[in-house]
Amino acid sequence: MAVVAGAAFNWTRLKPKALPPEAVQALWTAEFDQPNGEVLRLSQFQGKPLVLNFWATWCTPCVEEMPLLEAFFQENQSKSWQVVGLAIDQPSAVKRFLKQNPVNYPIGFAGLGGTELVKTLGNPGGGLPFTLVLNAQGGLIVQKLGKLSSQEMREWV
């Protein structure tokens, strides 16, 4: 009985909470410059499942999980899954990094404004990496601070 009660308590405590309406509004209206010079509008990703990953070039766990995100994107793009990386970093550092470590999913320059967005999305300390997984209706499936694992990512689909 105690084990079941403990598991239920932990599941409820760790279960992602719904995002506040103002955070959802900030998310879907956000726009970021991209390394290719185009503008990345998060509104273009509404209506399909989305993995939104906040990262930086100086963040070792962020860099380590990028190949996992790339593999997830390649394997699940045909199933309507989308992946977006938002770099909380200097654009010049991100461009240099991506030249040596290219990815096929869109990257946006979130800069310091991205830190504020991260905080509104449930990460008050602004730690990285920070990942949100949203379903096609924009509902929160996963909210994760820290490095992702391939097992976690398989469970999303």
19-156: which CATH architecture? 3-Layer(aba) Sandwich (3.40)
Q: How confident is the model at residue 16 (pLDDT cuts 50, 70, 90)?
A: low
DSSP 78: G
Q: Work out the average pLDDT over 22-39.
A: 95
Q: How confident is the model at residue 128 (pLDDT cuts 50, 70, 90)?
A: very high
Quote the tokens at residue 55: 């990262």
Q: Is residue 3 predicted with pLDDT exceeding 70? A: no
What does the DSSP assignment read for 82-117? EEEEEE-S-HHHHHHHHHHS--SS-EEE-HHHHHHH
Number of H helices, E strands in the chain: 6, 7
Q: Is residue 1 predicted with pLDDT exceeding 80? A: no
Cis preceding linkage at 129, omega within 30: yes
